[in-house]
Amino acid sequence: MHFILLAIIFIAVIFGPQMWAKRTFARYSKNIANMPGTGGELARHLLDRFDMTDVKLETTERGDHYDPSTKTVRLSPANFQGRSLTAISVAAHEVGHAIQHKQNSPLLKTRTRLVMLANAAERFGSLFMIAIPFITAATRAPSTGLVMFVVGFISIGLAVLVHLITLPVELDASFNKALPVLKEGNYIQAPHEAAVRRILKAAAYTYVAQSLAGILNLARWIAVLRRRG
């Protein structure tokens, strides 16, 4: 009974933030008739307004994000073409990252380095996990497998940690950049402010959802290795 309860709690912790973020985006994804422009149009307008004409704007199927390495704001087709609260809020959030970049934000610089480290660490850790049974069999030394397991565990765990500690960057993009811009520029009406705040919070916590998914990946590897052990 206790195991079932713990399993339910674990699943809720892992998938709860992702489900909440997706539900929030979906809740406010309906187009509004009197919305003056699409998410893509707002993003381009804001980039030009803040003298970031060199920042490109593209659509992507890989999720809304700002790529500092190519100075590109990428929006999903729904948010690029949509005239919903979700579309304009997410567009403003990603432009918020471009503003951070223009201002040489230490937070964004650190996040960019850490994300690169996290991606490399996760790939490195996964390769280590895959190689464990083969190297252990070849060396016939169980201690070798143990060492590799620890290294792989730390590598994947580091990727999870990095996603969690980048949250301040996301919150800054949402509430210190995007929200003031939307309010002061009268891009949103007062009755919509509460909804926009919810959407911006969901956008900021997307990285937390990714980190929790990383924990699930780590748990999956542990289960695989236990079956092989």
Residues marked as catalytic = 94
CA distances from 207 to 156, 166, 214, 219 (A): 15, 8, 10, 19
The number of beta carbons lying within 10 Å of the beta carbon of residue 211 is: 21
Bridge partners (DSSP) of residue 74 are: 58, 65
* Cα–Cα distances in angstroms (integers) from residue 199 to residues 44, 115, 154, 195, in the given order: 20, 23, 33, 6
> Residue 191 — φ and ψ, nearest 5°?
-60, -20
Among 143, 121, 153, 140, which Cα is nearest to 225's? 153
Q: What are phi and psi of 206, to 5 degrees?
A: -60, -35
**Which amino acid, residue 166?**
T
Q: Where are the beta strands (DSSP E) in 68-224?
A: 72-75
CA distances from 46 to 55, 132, 169 (A): 11, 50, 19
30 SS3 class: coil
What is the 8-class DSSP label of residue 173? I
